[in-house]
């Protein structure tokens, strides 16, 4: 198996074990432009859950004063959970696609 494909795929799969660190390191170290492209896509998709987790946590400290704000916060919480699950699924699909390319 081609090592460039494995490295590119690991960038996507690293959402489970190395977060945004592995794609960042691969982007800096590797010279192959195709691997760099996959690394930057994986990095962006790994940053999305990080940002959404902040959007989930911050309202719990400031907005729980009224029922309307609590309902809005709960709705935001549910939407962001769906987004995070979608990002994880996207990373798995992209990792498999990279491995199966000819």
Mean pLDDT of 24-34: 94
Is residue 62 very low, low, confident or very high in pLDDT (cuts 50, 70, 90)?
Answer: low
The tokens for 102 are 């000819």
pLDDT digits (tens, 9 = 90+) for 83-102: 989 999 999 999 999 999 87
Compute the distance between CA of residue 65 and CA of residue 12 in angstroms, rounded to an integer. Answer: 40
Compute the distance between CA of residue 49 and CA of residue 40 in angstroms, rounded to an integer. Answer: 15
Q: What pLDDT shows up at residue 51? A: 86
Compute the distance between CA of residue 92 and CA of residue 97 in angstroms, rounded to an integer. Answer: 9
């Amino acid at each position: 198996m081609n090592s460039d494909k494995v490295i590119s795929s690991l960038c996507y799969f690293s959402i489970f074990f190395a977060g945004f660190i592995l794609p960042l390191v691969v982007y800096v170290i590797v010279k192959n432009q195709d691997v760099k492209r996959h690394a930057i896509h994986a990095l962006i998709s790994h940053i999305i859950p990080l940002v959404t987790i902040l959007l989930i946590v911050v309202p719990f400290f400031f907005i729980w004063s009224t029922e309307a704000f609590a309902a809005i916060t709960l709705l935001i919480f549910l939407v962001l959970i769906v987004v995070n699950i979608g990002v994880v699924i996207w990373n798995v699909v992209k990792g498999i696609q990279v491995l199966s390319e000819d």
